[in-house]
Amino acid sequence: MHTLIFATNNKNKVAEIQSLVGPDFTIIPLLEAGIDIDIPEPHETLQENAFEKASTIHSITNQNCFSEDTGLEIEALNGAPGVKSARYAGEGRDFQANIDKVLQSLNDIDYRTAQFRTVICLLWQDAENILQTHYFEGICKGRIAYEMQGDKGFGYDPIFIPDGSDKSFAEMSMEEKNVFSHRKKAVTQLFEFLQTK
């Protein structure tokens, strides 16, 4: 049995990852661990931000933990919003404003190829008590819809249609989203790694 703190304040991420956890793992979200802080994400890469979040929580708890940073990368916008996805339309981290800005930026552009990319950072104390850092990445390729579709999920889900589907993530149940999901792919690698421990 592995117990891991998940260094996030995003309840939707917690719900998605809880839905993937098997009996061998216990995931403890920050609020359940009694930690109520907004961890900064100041860096230029998902990997650096993920490390920042995991290392901040490890320094507080001294326990095994992981974090993840996710970006929506749109080819016609040279990879934007990318690492700035949470604050694309400003510091308010407003889902609707972020979606409006993406749709506005792609106005009159039919080339709508995009991907979600998730980077997980695991800080793990090995059997010799040495702290190891491991990264796991998951990518979901797809396209940006012309308008919002569906009301499930969170963030950019209403405008992202994964390859292999005609539905946006916001038109899917969590189980359907997991068939395609960037997060599912990264978490699967994390669990596979932990199963070898």
Residues of the shown chain interacting with ligand ITT in the complex, contacts defined by CB under 6 A: 8-10, 13, 41, 53, 69-70, 85-86, 98, 116, 153-157, 169, 183
Instruction: Say if residues 52 and 43 touch (Cβ distance below 8 Å).
Output: yes
Bridge partners for 124 per DSSP: 132
Shortest distance (Å) from residue 152 CB to ligand ITT = 10
Q: Amino acid identity, residue 46?
A: L
Residue 31's identity, in one-letter code, is: L
Give the whole-angstrom CA distance, residue 173 versus residue 69: 22
Q: In this complex, which beta carbon is closest to ligand ITT, that of residue 15 or of residue 195?
A: 15
Rounded Cα distance between 82 and 48, Å, is 13
Catalytic residue among 69, 100, 108, 163: 69
Structure tokens at 86: 């949470």
Q: Residue 67 CB, nearest distance to ligand ITT (Å)? A: 6
69 is catalytic: yes
Minimum CB distance to ligand ITT smaller for 36 or for 128: 36
Looking at beta carbons only, is 64 or 159 nearer to ligand ITT? 159
**Which residue's Cβ lies closest to ligand ITT?**
155
Min separation Cβ 88 and ligand ITT, Å: 7
Task: State in angstroms the smallest separation of the CB of 194 from ligand ITT.
Answer: 19
Q: Inter-axis angle of helices 182-195 and 11-18, to 10 degrees? A: 60
Question: Counting beta carbons within 10 angstroms of the beta carbon of residue 151, is it exposed (0 to 12), middle (13 to 18) or buried (19 or more)?
Answer: exposed
Active site residues: 69
